[in-house]
Amino acid sequence: MRVLVLEPGYCPYIAFFDSAEEAVKKIIQGEKNVALPFGNEVIALVSSEEQDSLPFNRTIDESTYINGRALICGWDGEKLRELSRKQADRYYRRYLYPEKLVDEETGLRMIPQQPRVKPRDERVGRKPTFLER
């Protein structure tokens, strides 16, 4: 199962898991929260319900931001499913730059940061097989 992992301070990366349950268990801290903030019914954002104690990750749209690790995956209306390669590439480019939350006089502002790539040996998930590439 192909998913896109968003980690605070790093560029997103594509990870492969055997099932959606395994992906959620390895990436999300605590109970999961599934949302559909992308304006369609086929892409889901899975994040932790406990957002307060986790470090700021990214803004998703004008009204949604996430803290801690999150994953972007497919959604069929009832359960999580795999992203296609095209969908994974699209959302990878959309969230390429990590963001920093800055408190200013006018309110909170998100500032894009220099992209940092998470080392392969620190990434979650398994290496893709030849047919999954």
Instruction: Give residue limits of the domains in the chain.
Output: 2-132
pLDDT of residue 17: 94
Query: Which residue stretches of the chain have pLDDT < 70?
Result: 131-133
pLDDT of residue 117: 93
Is-contact 78 72, C-beta < 8 A? no
pLDDT of residue 133: 63
What is the pTM (predicted TM-score) of this model? 0.89
pLDDT of residue 126: 81
pLDDT digits (tens, 9 = 90+) for 95-106: 999 998 888 888
pLDDT digits (tens, 9 = 90+) for 16-31: 999 999 999 999 988 9
pLDDT of residue 87: 94
Q: Please name which of 6, 25, 9 lies closest in space to residue 17, comparing C-alpha atoms.
A: 25
Instruction: Report residue 54 as tokens.
Output: 């986790």
Query: Helix (H, G, I), strand (E, B), or coil: what is residue 2?
Result: strand
